[in-house]
Amino acid sequence: MEAFFQHIINGVSLGSIYALIALGYTMVYGILQLINFAHSDVYMIGAFIGFYSAKLLGVSDSPSYGSFFSVLLIAMIGCGILGFTIERLAYRPLRNAPKLNALITAIGLSLLFEYSGQIVFGATPQLFPNILADSIIFSFGEVRITRFDATILLTSLCLMVILRYIIQSTKLGKAMRATSFNGQWASLMGIPVDRIISMTFVIGSSLAAAGGILVGIKYPKIEPLMGVMIGLKAFVAAVLGGIGNIAGAVLGALIMGIAEEFVVGYGASTYRDALAFGILIVILLFRPAGILGKFSVEKV
Amino acid sequence: MVDLKRSVLFPVMMLFVFAGLNYILPHTFNAYIQTLIVYSCINIILAVSLNLVNGFTGQFSIGHAGFMAAGAYLSAYLTMNHAHWAGSSDGLNFFFNTIAGGVIAGLAGYAVGLPSLRLKGDYLAIVTLGFGEIIRVVLLNIDAVGGARGMYGIPKTANFFWAFTWVFICIITIKRLIYSTHGRAFLSVREDEIAAESVGINTTRYKVQAFVISSFFAGVAGSIFAHYLSYLNPSTFSFMKSIDVVVMVVLGGMGSISGSILAAIIITILPEALRPLQEITKIDFRMVIYSLTLIVLMLAKPQGLFGKLELSDVWKRLSEKSLGKKNG
């Protein structure tokens, strides 16, 4: 029973990292109907920005909340700028091209980041700087909550609350919702659609950067290809919850995280990567638009 | 009346040509170029068969590597562990095993085709991706085929003859299929599913058919790959391999067989052609250039190299142009 609760805690911790990345996928998809494959590499670059900024700030061996949050902030800002640049240079020229072209461009960008990452950062895994010390902050019998898990959970929770505030209660969020509902109508109503799309990329990318830093502190090995599998799973999580739907992305990510921890915990760890897709296929068979997605019948 | 010349004579002639090439090529080129030629053939089969689903039927599959893996592993397993098919030679044995690999891949394709009845667009894409990954992970866990260590010592029975023959079979099958009644049905599903349905086309059936045929050939390509490299590892058939094939199809032009063939050759050769650059700079820029080429091509030529045209159309258009100039 104790193992059960421990797996749930680990699963929620992993799931909230997936959620941060899945949010970027789902927001971009909601607004552009584009699977932004390069998003997983923005996450990777976020981790590397954290790696280098910790070195530059000289905090790579002084674990404290101060160094954690400053590194987090720098990575989020850096990736925000990166996301803006990607959208401006690669996706905006393709705004009116067929969807598939944008998709292939996204794949091309993803490959570009991965391979130039291998040149710039080196292909061997690097040890993420020790910017936060781990300790057990709460234990109940065998069930332990570590500081890492608590930090991951609280940080992602805070970011999600901020995101929800932005989307539900600010002018920007209103414009984003309008654009995602119908871009053309939104622009007729005087919403600067291009700027809103840019902002979506900035927000999504900085969330991915936060994911990168959180993964960096918990699983401290970072390498240029670290985004591939986790990006894929985050995307699956977004689809699982109903892509384009923000609450769905978080729900899907939590399901994925918990399910994965259970599979690993109960002995079938080699199947962990297959499990994600297994769940996805089963759920899509029953709810073709994801758990919270709306299934719309095409009318003629 | 069957057109004897086209349906019998031409294939038989081609088989003789392939047999001749099989004899000549090993003496003409070194092992490196020979490998490139066989890899091009494998990629052509993959790209042309995926084009049936992505280009002609308008679905979006990004799990082709999974079907390839299924075919590769089953055929290799049969070759290594199974008795020969009643008294056949190594070559024929390979042929039958390849077909077996194709059939298992086709069955897997049927399993993927079924959910595609309900899913559309990106959802379908992600399910095919998922199936591909599941096949890979399952193979990783089967100890009988080596698991993560991979499968060693598969007899090297694939040669130019079989590679060319399968490319030929694949291209002819898909080309004939597209220009048949069934082919028109595939195209109608791509153009407008609802309209196709309302004139009585069983869209579901055609979508599943496209998946099965396409994955059959992916399995065949996998079998050739296994019997040429004589080593298999699940990591070969990752998501990246599927993406490679999708890139070939889109680069060549969705719905153009000639385009797929050309793009498959380009994508096989491009990283190798850039190898001298790596030797000069001592840094592996090849994949960076490859991905940049991809982005630039998509921005500059969104329809792919051929669009929906075939080589014969392009040729016709060019010759008409030059004729028009001559006449006035």
What digits encode the pLDDT tens for the residues B8-18?
788 888 888 88
Cα–Cα distance measured from residue B185 to residue A36, given in angstroms and rounded to the nearest whole number: 32
Query: Is the CB of A269 inside 8 Å of chain B's CB atoms?
Result: no
As a whole-number percent, the residues of chain B with pLDDT over 90 amount to 25
Query: Is the CB of A274 inside 8 Å of chain B's CB atoms?
Result: yes
Q: Is the CB of A284 less than 8 angstroms away from the CB of B60?
A: no
User: Taking 60 as the threshold, does the pLDDT of residue B245 lie above it?
Assistant: yes
| Residues linked to residue A222 through DSSP beta bridges, in sequence order | A126
- Tell me how many residue pairs between chain A and chain B have CB atoms under 8 A apart: 114
Query: Is the CB of B117 inside 8 Å of chain A's CB atoms?
Result: no
| Residues linked to residue A143 through DSSP beta bridges, in sequence order | A140
CA distance B322 to chain A (A): 32
User: Taking 60 as the threshold, does the pLDDT of residue A56 lie above it?
Assistant: yes
Quick one: average pLDDT of B44-48?
96
- If phi > 0 it is left, if psi is from -120 to 50 it is alpha, else beta; for residue B147 that is left
pLDDT at A193: 92
User: Taking 90 as the threshold, does the pLDDT of residue B60 lie above it?
Assistant: no
Cα–Cα distance measured from residue A134 to residue B231, given in angstroms and rounded to the nearest whole number: 44
Query: Is the CB of B284 inside 8 Å of chain A's CB atoms?
Result: yes
Q: Give the confidence band of B128 by pLDDT, cuts at 50, 70, 90.
A: confident
Q: Is the CB of B288 less than 8 angstroms away from the CB of A277?
A: no
pLDDT at B86: 56
pLDDT at B325: 58
Chain B residue with CA closest to A103: the answer is B298
**Rounded to whole angstroms, what are the CA distances from B16 to A247, A255, B22, B162?**
62, 58, 10, 12
User: Taking 60 as the threshold, does the pLDDT of residue B327 lie above it?
Assistant: no
Q: Is the CB of A243 less than 8 angstroms away from the CB of B122?
A: yes
End-to-end Cα, chain A, rounded Å:
54
Cα–Cα distance measured from residue A135 to residue A142, given in angstroms and rounded to the nearest whole number: 15
Mutation choice for A interface testing from B53, B59, B133, B290 by most A CBs within 10 A = B133
Query: Is the CB of A81 inside 8 Å of chain B's CB atoms?
Result: no
Considering only the C-alpha atoms of chain A, give the largest distance between any 2 of them, rounded to a whole number of Å.
63
Q: Is the CB of B298 less than 8 angstroms away from the CB of A105?
A: yes
Chain B residue with CA closest to A94: the answer is B299
**Rounded to whole angstroms, what are the CA distances from A151 to A65, A157, A160, A207, A267?**
9, 10, 14, 15, 27
**What does the pLDDT look like over B66-121, one tens digit per residue?**
999 999 999 998 888 765 665 567 778 888 889 999 999 999 999 887 766 677 77
User: Taking 50 as the threshold, does the pLDDT of residue A209 lie above it?
Assistant: yes
Which residue in A33, A109, A277 is closest to B295 by CB distance? A109
Which residue in B141, B288, B302 is closest to A101 by CB distance? B302
Cα–Cα distance measured from residue B301 to residue A79, given in angstroms and rounded to the nearest whole number: 29
Q: Which of B156, B157, B172, B158 is nearest to B12 (CA)?
A: B172
Q: Is the CB of A236 less than 8 angstroms away from the CB of B130?
A: yes
Contacts of A287 in chain B (CB under 8 A): none
Contacts of B292 in chain A (CB under 8 A): 108, 112
User: Taking 60 as the threshold, does the pLDDT of residue A218 lie above it?
Assistant: yes
Which is it for the CA torsion A189, A190, A191, A193, positive or negative? positive
Contacts of B192 in chain A (CB under 8 A): none
**What torsion do the CA atoms of B54, B57, B60, B61 make, to the nearest 10 degrees?**
-70
Cα–Cα distance measured from residue B274 to residue B284, given in angstroms and rounded to the nearest whole number: 9
Which residues are within 8 A (CB) of B152 and not within 5 positions of it... i.e. 6 or more apart? B146, B230, B231
End-to-end Cα, chain B, rounded Å:
42
Cα–Cα distance measured from residue A119 to residue A127, given in angstroms and rounded to the nearest whole number: 17
Find out whether B157 and B94 touch, Cβ atoms under 8 Å: yes
Q: Give the confidence band of B154 by pLDDT, cuts at 50, 70, 90.
A: confident
The H or E element spanning position A234 is helix A226-241
Find out whether A79 and A40 touch, Cβ atoms under 8 Å: no
Query: Is the CB of A280 inside 8 Å of chain B's CB atoms?
Result: yes
User: Taking 70 as the threshold, does the pLDDT of residue B178 lie above it?
Assistant: yes
User: Taking 80 as the threshold, does the pLDDT of residue A270 lie above it?
Assistant: no
Residue B64, amino acid: H
Q: Which of B226, B246, B249, B214 is nearest to B71 (CA)?
A: B226
Q: Give the confidence band of A169 by pLDDT, cuts at 50, 70, 90.
A: very high
Q: Which of A150, A190, A158 is nearest to A174 (CA)?
A: A190
Chain A residue with CA closest to B293: the answer is A108
CA distance B135 to chain A (A): 8
CA distance B75 to chain A (A): 23
pLDDT at A220: 84
Cα–Cα distance measured from residue B268 to residue B12, given in angstroms and rounded to the nearest whole number: 29
Which residue in A93, A111, A274 is closest to B299 by CB distance? A93
**What does the pLDDT look like over B66-75, one tens digit per residue?**
999 999 999 9
Q: Is the CB of A243 less than 8 angstroms away from the CB of B131?
A: no
Residue A10, amino acid: N
Q: What is the DSSP string of A6-21?
A: HHHHHHHHHHHHHHHH
For the purposes of burial, counting CB atoms within 10 Å of the CB of A298, is it exposed (0-12), middle (13-18) or buried (19 or more)? Answer: exposed
pLDDT at B3: 67
Contacts of B284 in chain A (CB under 8 A): 115, 118-119
Cα–Cα distance measured from residue A201 to residue A199, given in angstroms and rounded to the nearest whole number: 5
| Residues linked to residue B253 through DSSP beta bridges, in sequence order | none
Query: Is the CB of B249 inside 8 Å of chain A's CB atoms?
Result: no
User: Taking 50 as the threshold, does the pLDDT of residue B328 lie above it?
Assistant: no
Model pTM score: 0.84
User: Taking 80 as the threshold, does the pLDDT of residue B286 lie above it?
Assistant: no
Find out whether A26 and A248 touch, Cβ atoms under 8 Å: yes
Contacts of B243 in chain A (CB under 8 A): 107
Cα–Cα distance measured from residue A172 to residue A240, given in angstroms and rounded to the nearest whole number: 27
Q: Is the CB of B243 less than 8 angstroms away from the CB of A107?
A: yes
Which residues are within 8 A (CB) of A100 and not within 5 positions of it... i.e. 6 or more apart? B60, B250, B254
Query: Is the CB of A298 inside 8 Å of chain B's CB atoms?
Result: yes
Cα–Cα distance measured from residue B38 to residue B35, given in angstroms and rounded to the nearest whole number: 5
Q: Give the confidence band of B174 by pLDDT, cuts at 50, 70, 90.
A: very high
Query: Is the CB of B137 inside 8 Å of chain A's CB atoms?
Result: yes
Cα–Cα distance measured from residue B64 to residue B48, given in angstroms and rounded to the nearest whole number: 12
Pairing verdict, β A221-222 and A136-140: unpaired
Contacts of A230 in chain B (CB under 8 A): none
Mean pLDDT of chain A: 87
In three-state form (DSSP H/G/I as H, E/B as E, the rest C), the secondary structure along A77-118 is: HHHHHHHHHHHHHHHHHHCCCCHHHHHHHHHHHHHHHHHHHH
Q: Is the CB of B129 less than 8 angstroms away from the CB of A277?
A: yes
**Rounded to whole angstroms, what are the CA distances from A225 to A30, A44, A115, A259, B238?**
26, 8, 9, 24, 13
In chain A, the DSSP E strands lie at 126-127, 136-140, 143-146, 221-222
pLDDT at B324: 64
Top-confidence range, A106-115, A234-243, B41-50, B269-278: B41-50
Quick one: average pLDDT of A88-93?
89
Find out whether A239 and A290 touch, Cβ atoms under 8 Å: yes
Q: Is the CB of A298 less than 8 angstroms away from the CB of B295?
A: no
User: Taking 80 as the threshold, does the pLDDT of residue A192 lie above it?
Assistant: yes
Top-confidence range, A58-62, B134-138, B222-226: B222-226
Quick one: average pLDDT of B300-304?
79
Q: Is the CB of A35 less than 8 angstroms away from the CB of B138?
A: no
